[in-house]
Amino acid sequence: MNDRASPSDRRLDRRIPLGCPALIRLRSGETIPAECVEIGVGGMTLRAAYVPGEAEVLEVVVASPAGQLTRPPLVTRLEVKRCHALGGGRYEIGGATVRVVE
């Protein structure tokens, strides 16, 4: 997968750093623990021990930030735009929000 986004794929919205626990739900039913590093109106960045396919659409569940009001998790469908290795079997995944489920 490309480490560089084309100019048309670069995000236009501002992202807010989070560091919240998240889960990636695969079509097979498997769940993969992740961390939501940052989030914005148009997408998010995750870190996980998973290598997605190019343009794969993932269901992502993001928990509320620690110490904040108790709120239900955010559930979205995320289209993968980039993925690169961080080392130690972890990857940074950037994507665009296709749909907010809950």
pLDDT digits (tens, 9 = 90+) for 1-52: 444 444 444 545 666 777 899 999 998 999 999 999 999 989 999 999 999 9
Spell out the domains of the chain, with CATH numbers in brackets. Answer: 15-100 (2.40.10.220)
What pLDDT, on a 0 to 100 scale, did the predictor assign at position 84? 96
Which residue is associated with the tokens 């739900």? 25
Rounded CA separation 82/98 (Å): 15
Residue-by-residue DSSP string for 14-31: -EEEEEEEEEEE-TTS-E
Residues 6+ apart with CB under 8 A from 71: 64
